[in-house]
Structure 1
Amino acid sequence: MPAKQECMRARKDLVRREKKLSRMAQDVARAMREMPVMKISKDYVFTRPDGRNVCLPNLFEGKRQLVVYQFTVGSGASDACARCTFLAERSADAHQLDS
């Protein structure tokens, strides 16, 4: 069993690395918030879960904001990437966003 001092050194190193990772994530989040807004002029068409096609402005359904997540599915894969779906699977029920 490793000595207590060795465990403490390893734990302190992990804490240091966690803090560095947290600062990096905060920097990326800040950069995303500061990105300039751009006008979307192309008329994108999306397929709704019910199979109907809808253009981008109609996805808002009268709301001011729209949450969109892109899921990656590799060739031959039957499911979307677990990292891509992580946030959506752990988010609140979409109906709660209507309030």
Structure 2
Amino acid sequence: MMKTSNQALPEIVSAEQWQAALDQQLIKEKALTRAHDALNAERRRLPMVKIDKAYTLAGKTGPVSLLDLFEGRRQLIIYHFMFAPDWSQGCTGCSWVVDAMSHPAHLHARNTSLVLVSRAPLEKLAAYEKRMGWDLPWYSSFDSSFNADFGVTTEQGEKHGVSILLRDGGELYRTYFTGARGVEHLGSHWTYLDLTPWGRQENWEDSPKGWPQTEPYTWLRRHDEYDD
């Protein structure tokens, strides 16, 4: 017989008590969903800024313009992946986000393209992409002011984030940007963990006493490094 764990656990109740507690939780979650829908509606009504500057990025098939990244579609999601030119590998957290990205065909069906852009030279991006087993459009802004102009390379270093662009004919506009924890909904691993009793198991979370917790992000690894 398997030995009972000494780890802190949620309260054990009857099936009826569990269902009652769940029903109350779902009322709050539905309210949050509606609030999130309202926030999304506000985002769709944000003003936008025209992109007048011409950028040339390096891609697998050669130099490309910002317009080329749309691949003829109307909307473009750019994930600013942290990978500086002098780094030997990409950011751990950004790698988490990319691991969770869905098949692009679902975005294409809604007239939307998704690309990654980093400052590291293309050969470094290609080597890391092969190691990670990814197959997403990834472009280097190494010889461009793109990262600085979009606010993701500063005097303090590299930043991650996501920019949303809209195309009207040949005119390009930036409609939205978020960084820091604003990109978490792109990395569904966090969403999955948020559903579990122990959550993300980080010490900023409001969890019952005795729950396993560590400092934020210290436990993250690239998917081929956990055995280390």
- In 2 relative to 1, CA 93–52 (structure 1 residues): closer, same or farther, beyond 3 Å? farther
Structure 1 unaligned regions, length at least 5 = none
For 1:26, what is the secondary structure of its paired residue? Answer: helix
- In 2 relative to 1, CA 40–24 (structure 1 residues): closer, same or farther, beyond 3 Å? same
**1:10-32, CA deviations, whole angstroms, 9 ceiling, x for partnerless residues?**
11122112212211321221122
* Alignment TM-score, normalising by the size of structure 1: 0.62
CA root-mean-square deviation: 3.4
1:59 lines up with 2:74 in the alignment: no
Alignment of 1:35-46 (within 5 A): 35-46=46-57
Partners of 2:61 and 2:67 lie apart in 1 by 17
Alignment of 1:2-81 (within 5 A): 2-48=13-59, 50=60, 52-61=62-71, 63=72, 65-70=74-79, 72-73=81-82, 77=92, 80-81=95-96
Kindly indicate whether the alpha-carbon contact (under 8 Å) linking 1:43 and 1:56 is maintained by their aligned counterparts in 2: yes
- In 2 relative to 1, CA 57–89 (structure 1 residues): closer, same or farther, beyond 3 Å? same
For 1:41, what is the secondary structure of its paired residue? Answer: coil
- In 2 relative to 1, CA 22–47 (structure 1 residues): closer, same or farther, beyond 3 Å? farther
Structure 2 unaligned regions, length at least 5 = 1-11, 84-89, 112-228
Partners of 2:107 and 2:38 lie apart in 1 by 28
Q: Which fold has the larger relative contact order, with Cα–Cα distance below 8 Å and residues 6 or more apart in sequence?
A: 2
The alpha carbon displacement at 1:4 in A equals 4.0
For 1:68, what is the secondary structure of its paired residue? Answer: strand
Kindly indicate whether the alpha-carbon contact (under 8 Å) linking 2:69 and 2:76 is maintained by their aligned counterparts in 1: no
The alpha carbon displacement at 1:40 in A equals 0.8
Aligned residues: 94
For 1:54, what is the secondary structure of its paired residue? Answer: strand
* Alignment TM-score, normalising by the size of structure 2: 0.33
Question: Which segments of structure 1 move beyond 6 Å, counting only runs of 4 or more?
Answer: none
- Identical pairs, percent: 20
The alpha carbon displacement at 1:72 in A equals 4.2
1:89 is matched with: 102
Partners of 2:16 and 2:93 lie apart in 1 by 47
- In 2 relative to 1, CA 91–20 (structure 1 residues): closer, same or farther, beyond 3 Å? farther
Kindly indicate whether the alpha-carbon contact (under 8 Å) linking 1:45 and 1:56 is maintained by their aligned counterparts in 2: yes
Partners of 2:55 and 2:66 lie apart in 1 by 6
**1:41-67, CA deviations, whole angstroms, 9 ceiling, x for partnerless residues?**
12233332x152212123334x35132
